[in-house]
């Protein structure tokens, strides 16, 4: 890390995973004052406006086919993924959600093989996948020792699957050669657009008093500007300076940050069973990766 450029890349990656790992804790805290759809809409509206400020240019696509691609990405990667994740937090622990959704790369690999013609995953991948799913079952069934609704863990797993779909779509629009920030902003736009129908039947009536309360305002700004718009920029900076493979290793710190932050900030109780399940998930994720393969030129970003 003697190279200042690489040192800056490591700092950017660490900054990003610290913020991403704590998003579940901030969202869990905000659920005391806001509904899941309120948090989601306000957060991404702020992120969308911030990306306009960073790159005040219009993205001109080639036609309806590309617009449909961005629309599908917005539906999967913003509306469905984050809405299911936020609802999951009303049923289960933030640490459970943070660790379970980290299985998304496993679904991405399976979908990429099926729809993009990627190399067929080998025995190592399936062994890791089995370990991760076993960890999810352990966390969901035995994890907390508390009366939690298993729907939260199942919604978290569905969120991971939906993110796998988004990752396939993001590869396609990244290959179009457009500016990354403009692409992300277009995805945010469609994500917000698909949220609008849900506003009418999912308890969307944010109160100004709750929104302006210092703790709530800080949480919303943290999610929308920090963990959303800013982390997108810092993650891409890290990928540019360190390479996709080196930077991807930092992703494994996200669920660990979530577990620690959940225990320290909102005092979620960890048991040996839940810790064992989380360890199985992380081990499965690490085992499933083929570290000998060269990374793709474009790497999708999982904003948190």
SS (H, E, C) the chain: CCCHHHHHHHHHHHHHHHHHHHHHHHHHHHCCCCCHHHHHHHHHHHHHHHHHHHCCCCCCCCCHHHHHHHHHHHHHHHHHHHHHHHHHCCCCCHHHHHHHHHHHHHHHHHHHHHHCCCCCCCHHHHHHHHHHHHHHHHHHHHCCCCCCCCHHHHHHHHHHHHHHHHHHHHHHHHCCCCCHHHHHHHHHHHHHHHHHHHHCCCCCCCCHHHHHCHHHHHHHHHHHHHHHHHHHHHHHHHHHHHCHHHHHHHHHHHHHHHHHHHHHHCCCCCCHHHHHHHHHHHHHHHHHCCCCCCCCCCCCCCCC
Report pLDDT for 303. Answer: 56
3-state DSSP call for residue 176? Answer: coil
Answer whether residue 19 shows pLDDT above 90.
Answer: yes
Could you read off the pLDDT of 43-52 as tens digits, one per residue? 999 999 999 9
- How far apart, in whole angstroms, are the C-alpha atoms of residue 224 and residue 34? 15
Task: Summarize the confidence of residues 48-67 as an average pLDDT.
Answer: 93
Report pLDDT for 195. Answer: 96
Portion of the chain with pLDDT greater than 90, in percent: 36
Report pLDDT for 297. Answer: 46
Answer whether residue 294 shows pLDDT above 60.
Answer: no
Q: Nearest to residue 166, comparing CAs of 302, 21, 24?
A: 302
Q: What is the domain partition of the chain in residue ranges?
A: 4-288
Report pLDDT for 301. Answer: 53
Answer whether residue 56 shows pLDDT above 90.
Answer: yes
Could you read off the pLDDT of 110-161 as tens digits, one per residue? 888 888 887 788 888 888 888 888 887 777 655 444 445 678 889 999 999 9
Mean pLDDT score of the chain, rounded to an integer? 84
Answer whether residue 300 shows pLDDT above 60.
Answer: no
> Comparing 25-39, 124-138, 238-252, which segment has the lowest mean pLDDT?
238-252
Report pLDDT for 52. Answer: 94
Report pLDDT for 245. Answer: 57
Could you read off the pLDDT of 262-286 as tens digits, one per residue? 888 888 877 787 788 888 888 887 7
Report pLDDT for 3. Answer: 74
């Amino acid at each position: 890390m003697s190279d200042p450029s690489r040192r800056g890349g490591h700092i950017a990656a660490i900054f990003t995973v610290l913020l991403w790992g704590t998003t579940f804790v901030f969202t869990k805290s905000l659920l005391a004052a806001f509904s899941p759809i309120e948090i989601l809409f306000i957060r991404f509206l702020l992120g969308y406006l911030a990306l306009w400020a960073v790159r005040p240019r219009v993205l001109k696509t080639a036609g309806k086919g590309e617009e449909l691609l961005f629309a599908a990405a917005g539906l999967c990667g913003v509306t469905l993924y984050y809405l299911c994740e936020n609802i999951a937090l009303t049923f289960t622990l933030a640490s459970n959600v943070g660790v379970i959704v980290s299985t998304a790369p496993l679904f991405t690999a399976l979908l990429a093989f099926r729809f993009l013609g990627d190399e067929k995953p080998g025995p190592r991948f399936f062994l890791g996948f089995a370990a991760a799913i076993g960890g999810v079952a352990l966390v969901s069934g035995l994890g907390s020792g508390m009366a939690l609704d298993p729907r939260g863990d199942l919604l978290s797993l569905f969120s991971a699957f939906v993110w796998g779909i988004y990752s396939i779509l993001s590869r396609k629009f990244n290959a179009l050669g457009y500016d990354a920030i403009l692409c992300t902003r277009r995805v945010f736009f469609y994500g917000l657009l698909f949220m609008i129908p849900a506003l009418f039947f999912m308890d969307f009536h944010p109160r100004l008093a709750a929104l302006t309360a210092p703790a709530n305002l800080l949480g919303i700004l943290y999610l929308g500007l920090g963990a959303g718009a800013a982390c997108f920029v810092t993650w891409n900076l890290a990928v540019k300076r360190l390479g996709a493979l080196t930077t991807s290793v930092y992703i494994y710190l996200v669920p660990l940050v979530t577990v620690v932050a959940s225990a320290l900030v909102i005092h979620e109780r960890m048991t040996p069973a839940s810790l064992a399940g989380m360890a199985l998930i992380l081990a499965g994720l690490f085992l499933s990766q083929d570290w000998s393969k060269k990374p793709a030129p474009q790497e999708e970003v999982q904003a948190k």
